[in-house]
Amino acid sequence: MTGDLRGYELRPSTAADRDAIAHVWHASASLPRVGPPDIPTVEELRTRIDLELAAGWSITVAVRDGDVIGFVAIKPQAPVLDQLFVRPGYLGIGVGRALLEHAMAAMPDGFTLHTRSGNWRARRFYEKAGLTFLREDVHPRTGDPVSHYGWKIR
């Protein structure tokens, strides 16, 4: 999927994007209440990207002027929206919504996701987009409270 959206485009990620994806992920997860208390390093996130891609992730990036400004990582076979991050400075201009809509198109029968329970910006974003709150839980790796959401989940 490619399209001009306020000066950025969505496209499938390539191997050349992986470092930039790790940087966007780290910068966004480092915002208050977004990521876990102990944010993985850029290098740890970069390693995870390779592992997750090998295990079935599909990543779409938002690119402006050749720079990755956001990404969505989905597991269509699960179906799960695993990660959606937008680089700070590009929040609120529609990048996240475009990436979420891409996930909806890629998994038209529905999907689930989770976000930190204290990440009110993400929770409002998902609820405004029509996702349904499913339950509270604890993240298996970090022990942080997480909120589960679903789209077209019955």
Q: Checking DSSP bridges between strand 111-116 and strand 132-138, what pairing results, if any?
A: unpaired
Quick one: how far is CA 38 from the chain centroid? 18
Predicted pLDDT of residue 34: 86
Cα–Cα distance for residue pair 29/89, rounded to 1 Å? 13
* CATH of the domain spanning 4-109: 3.40.630.30
- Report pLDDT for 154: 65
The pTM (predicted TM-score) of the whole model is 0.92
Q: For residues 83 and 59, give the distance between their C-alpha atoms in angstroms, rounded to a whole number.
A: 9
Residue 1 — very low, low, confident or very high, per pLDDT cuts 50/70/90? very low
Per domain, the residue ranges of the chain are 4-109
- Sign of the CA dihedral running 107, 28, 50, 19: positive
Question: Using one digit for the tens of pLDDT, what is the confidence trace for 68-122?
Answer: 999 999 999 999 999 999 999 999 999 999 999 999 999 999 999 999 999 999 9
